[in-house]
Structure 1
Amino acid sequence: MTEFNVPVSEGTRVFLNFSVSLEDGSEVDTNFGGDPVDFSIGDGSLLPGFERRLFGMVAGDRQMFEVLPEDAFGQPNENNVQRMQRDQFDEDAELEIGLVFSFADAAGGELPGMVIAFDDDEVTVDFNHPLAGRTVMFDVLIHRVEPAELH
């Protein structure tokens, strides 16, 4: 295998391990302890606010970044909180605060929504990303960077 010592930039494929945690240290997601993931810069695999922080890093670099909500999962949007009629849910669905349901979006994809309130008539569902409004810590270890055209 040919080794490259190119920095992460447009037109590169990056192999890395990462973790995302909250400011209090609680881990949200990680692949440390497993195989690195790989993606091409700009392919949409990684949020742009995370991707930008990798630019200039080379194989062997490890860094922890604080990512503000604007560069991570955004701020909560009150338009993403919807009230629905209770009868839109299965009669036998046992509703509870924090329960996540999968809803069909306009394009036919799936959109998760979390129940934040309910009564006999209405259910209030929050479609904001669960990490919206949160500052997250992004710990990344770069294993390999190579020109994307090799794939």
Structure 2
Amino acid sequence: MTNKSIETNSEVVMHFAIRLEDGSAAESTKVHDKPAKFTMGDGSLTANFEACLIGLKAGDNRTFKLPPEDAFGQPNPDNIYYLDRNKFSAEAPAEKGEIIAFTQPDGQEIPGIVRDVTGESVTVDFNHPLAGLTVEFDVEIITVN
């Protein structure tokens, strides 16, 4: 069995951890021991993230830092919504910092972060929680096919 390098259409299984610039952990696949599986070029990773993986082999461990444009993007002002406080319930209160799942018209759920509550107006941010942040990825390549 040869130890293949990651290339353009490789199927990759890897563990990853995401840290913020202050060193705090944002996410890790090792917490539940569920590695990520994807195919290079399928759109699940940004082009620059994929470029960092090219040439790595099973067993390789790497750490790299990505600016917002190459990680989760910049926050989009169009993803900020102002909702009436009466749209919230006791189970999903309009409290600053709460992350609430909202059901879209197509039935998909999307998480929103309550950023502000002023009177009857609630500001909800539907940007990815890591949008606008420089993040550090630790990757451990498990298999390459």
Which AA in structure 1 matches 2:137? F
* Aligned ranges 1:3-42 → 2 under 5 Å: 3-32=1-30, 34=33, 36-42=35-41
Q: Name 1:61's counterpart in structure 2.
A: 60
Cα distance change on mapping 1:85 and 1:73 into 2, 3 Å: same
CA contact (8 A) 1:77 1:128 kept: yes
Which AA in structure 1 matches 2:63? M
- The answer to whether 1:110 aligns with 2:109 is yes
Deviation at residue 91 of structure 1 after TM alignment: 6.2
User: What secondary structure, in the 3-state scheme, does the structure 2 residue paired with 1:111 have?
Assistant: strand
Which AA in structure 2 matches 1:88? K
Cα distance change on mapping 1:111 and 1:32 into 2, 3 Å: closer
CA distance in 2, matches of 1:35, 1:111: 22
Structure 2 alignment gaps of length 5 or more: none
Q: Name 1:149's counterpart in structure 2.
A: none
CA distance in 2, matches of 1:121, 1:42: 45
Q: Name 2:133's counterpart in structure 1.
A: 134
TM-score w.r.t. the length of structure 1 is 0.83
CA distance in 2, matches of 1:75, 1:45: 17
Which AA in structure 2 matches 1:108? G
Q: How many correspondences in the alignment?
A: 144
User: What secondary structure, in the 3-state scheme, does the structure 2 residue paired with 1:74 have?
Assistant: coil
CA distance in 2, matches of 1:118, 1:81: 13
Cα distance change on mapping 1:80 and 1:6 into 2, 3 Å: same
Deviation at residue 35 of structure 1 after TM alignment: 5.7
* Aligned ranges 1:38-117 → 2 under 5 Å: 38-90=37-89, 93-117=92-116
Cα distance change on mapping 1:11 and 1:69 into 2, 3 Å: same
Structure 1 alignment gaps of length 5 or more: 147-151
Deviation at residue 90 of structure 1 after TM alignment: 2.4
